[in-house]
Amino acid sequence: MYSHKGLKGLAAAGMGGVLLLTGCASDEAGEDLKEVEIALIGWEEAIAVTHLWEVILREKGYEVTITETDLTPAFQGVADGEIDLYLDMWLPVTHHEYMDEHKGRIETLGSWYDNASLTLTVPEYMEDVTSIDDLPEHSEDLNGTIVGIEPDAGLTQVTQNQTMPGYLLDEDFDLETSTGASMMADLGEAYEAREPIVVTLWRPHPAYAQYGLKDLEDPQGLMGEAETIHSIGRSGFGEDYPELSEWIQNWTMNDDELADLEVLTVAPGVEDPAAGAREWLSKNPMFLERTMGEAARGLEF
């Protein structure tokens, strides 16, 4: 997960800093509104697909605002109608509490990825650690620390409230929370020095392409089964954006497509995720055709 850029107060929902991206506006009767605001949490898959849709929508004449924020205000902003769209909601486990809290105030727009999973992960060179059950006997080597991400993330809640008590890890370990970017920095430093480390991670994530990692076996199943990633909109989204709503509901990605997109948009050294998304779209015209149908005609990236 990618670093947040200067979170600032935004209305009552506590939204983050806003990036205004150029486009043009129109609200002719029977057509989509042409201004759309998308919440962005600094997670790899969210960055990748948010910029993917930014590029597509700009080409279709929409004015796109990306609001960078944290998880709680993202859901609150959509529920309050201050944010139009959020593209990285995990079910049935990770974000179910947010959906329960805002039930009836959010429109679900379908799932686009069906192989998401939460993990505790170590480098492959930690040969004696293959299962979460193995961690207690290695607590001293690991400084009694599981390196985590944002405290309000669903992954953090699952790890802290289910996995650690279930495996009695809370007797020997603390869950260190900060940000996804900080977790990745710690992982990179430990990996380079071949030091022991255990992190909270998830699939899809480009770290698996960067490092030799292994997900720890979870014999009790406390990290949950594979999840699906969904898009959500504010109440009335489908009515205000009938065409965009249809595109999003048609949208799906497989493992290879998402991995290739992440390499171009969030891998180390990438400075312009939108440019990476454009490159990916230029190589994947069939994605546009199956997602947008006739509306994809004439789009060039």
**pTM of the complete model:** 0.74
pLDDT attached to residue 215: 96
d(CA 48, CA 51): 6
pLDDT attached to residue 1: 37
Domains and CATH numbers, the chain: 11-115+227-296 (3.40.190.10), 116-215 (3.40.190.100)
pLDDT attached to residue 20: 39
CA dihedral defined by 21, 26, 29, 33, rounded to 10 degrees? 10
Q: Per residue in 248-298, pLDDT tens?
A: 999 999 988 998 999 899 988 899 999 999 999 999 999 999 999 999 999
pLDDT attached to residue 207: 87
Q: Do 154 and 74 form a contact (C-beta atoms < 8 A)? A: no
pLDDT attached to residue 7: 30
pLDDT attached to residue 152: 87
* Spans of the chain below 50 pLDDT: 1-28
CA dihedral defined by 27, 31, 34, 40, rounded to 10 degrees? 140
pLDDT attached to residue 14: 38
pLDDT attached to residue 15: 38
